Structure 1
């Protein structure tokens, strides 16, 4: 597999004919996803806040697929040179997520790279078992490699006192902030988004359908949420990092927004056609809302 991590580059439009993708994939034994048969998991979710409740996979756009649960987003980016998975959902949801991937007609071993948004158990609790099932490389920001390989969050995290650990993750590789992950012709650009957690990352890439290309952004959380000990107003807090994350995301070209908790962007409603899928202002609006929440949080801390 042609796999590289390289410095930040502007992503230009990449149009790849589906027939070419299929031919390339066939040559190296990678199966590209296809629309699944009617799923055994329910279409409707009892709760969009349930991290573990199964739901069927959905095509997001092009060769990007939603394979997560009712409450937690997991995304599969299919490429002829090996597929990429972003996040895993909690360990209790790992079987449902793997079943979603298999229902697309791809093999788990076709997943060669796993990325993550941030190091909390609701998003990567199942990452160790997913890595073992796929044999994929896990890429994490250099500042959280010890957290990923130990399964233990540290006091830098605003939610440290309330976090559950996760199983230690194997085959973890670090990357520099602002890197672009290149797999064949697919380029996935990292957006540094610390603040909600020390290792926060957003990810952006392009997908095309009939030569219409869209910028997809999987944004990390901008929530200024903490345990009862942490203060965002403290000198060594992640407040400035969170502000910078909002500013950075607001400037990112964005047609389709994905959030780790789908309720933050009405994701499943948009994927089911109940609301427009694309909105070029979605990332900017999401960033603005996050910045306002942090501002309100800081004001409340000063009043205490």
Structure 2
């Protein structure tokens, strides 16, 4: 399955990052411009070829979800303007999780738009210090610190005009990982839209993680939670996981239901739950092997 292959590639990237700075270069597509496009009536893609950013437009202004890398700020702002939204109409900014490839540009976009930034308590420290905590996340890369204007809780509804965006805390990938859902009108139909936070292990330490001792339980609770949810349209932070760019091309060609795929979320959850359990089992086997070696050498 193509999604499974993409996940394996993502895990390989995580391993390279963990190996050292020489191998830690970001993929070029993360900063490659792409034309913004409409997903549903009031929902647009304004990210790069390899990193998602979504704009939700209401009568009272717009909400930006994610900002990608720091160097992409001008690209994101240009895409916002290209879909007909002046920067000063962006009133709120939210994010999925505190990794530099999703929040790196937010500090500048927040400054340029005057928008308020909302985030969960679990990621607040990392966001306001401009870094992932080492031993909590596999990517402790620095990024410009972002002042959190309001902490949101699980199930909290963020409203702007007629838009209602609901926060779902789905920790594991980071302690404050937050998925977001809304209902969007799409070609005369109402669609359930989910912006899932990442559910990949992606190099995180599962055993003996002193900075995040509850990581295993959080991942399992997140899988269980997402397994109960339903979505017609799934829009992840890495567009290739849902073929977002290709679907956008199909929509521009006239296929208004190009993004509709109710089976995508269950597939993602099932495959990532299995991958997580496999990695956890491998980590436990390694701990046992290391203990045996230490005993033999003592």
TM superposition score category, shorter chain reference: 0.7 to 0.9
When structure 1 is superposed on structure 2, of 56-65 and 185-194 the one drifting more is 185-194
1:75-94 equivalences under 5 Å are 75-94=54-73
Partner of 1:231: 206
Using the TM superposition, give the Cα deviation of residue 234 of structure 1 relative to its aligned residue in structure 2, in angstroms: 5.7
Partner of 2:171: 194
Per-residue deviation, residues 224-256 of structure 1 (Å, max 9, x unmatched): 1225xx234769241221122122222222001
Counterpart among 48, 55, 62 of residue 34 in structure 2: 55
Matched, 1:301 2:283: yes
> 2: distance between equivalents of 1:83 and 1:288?
33
Matched, 1:118 2:97: yes
Pairwise CA RMSD: 2.1
Counterpart among 144, 160, 168 of residue 183 in structure 1: 160
Which structure's residues are more often helix, by fraction? 2
Using the TM superposition, give the Cα deviation of residue 210 of structure 1 relative to its aligned residue in structure 2, in angstroms: 4.7
- When residues 210 and 66 of structure 1 are mapped into structure 2, their CA distance, relative to the original with a 3 A threshold, is closer
Per-residue deviation, residues 187-231 of structure 1 (Å, max 9, x unmatched): 11111111111111111101113531001111111111225xx23
> 2: distance between equivalents of 1:238 and 1:271?
35
> 2: distance between equivalents of 1:48 and 1:73?
14
Aligned pair count reads 254
Partner of 2:17: none
Counterpart among 252, 260, 273 of residue 291 in structure 1: 273
> 1: distance between equivalents of 2:219 and 2:28?
24
| 3-state SS in 2 of match to 1:164 | coil
TM-score in terms of structure 1 length? 0.79
- When residues 48 and 286 of structure 1 are mapped into structure 2, their CA distance, relative to the original with a 3 A threshold, is farther
- When residues 108 and 95 of structure 1 are mapped into structure 2, their CA distance, relative to the original with a 3 A threshold, is same
> 2: distance between equivalents of 1:255 and 1:115?
21
| 3-state SS in 2 of match to 1:245 | helix
| 3-state SS in 1 of match to 2:34 | coil
Contact 2:135 2:209 in 1 (8 A): no
Q: Which runs of 5+ in 2 are unaligned?
A: 1-25, 287-298
Matched, 1:107 2:86: yes
Counterpart among 68, 83, 96 of residue 47 in structure 2: 68
> 1: distance between equivalents of 2:110 and 2:68?
13
Partner of 2:195: 218
| 3-state SS in 2 of match to 1:152 | coil
Contact 2:57 2:63 in 1 (8 A): yes
> 1: distance between equivalents of 2:121 and 2:99?
16
Partner of 1:244: 221
> 2: distance between equivalents of 1:270 and 1:110?
27
Partner of 2:14: none
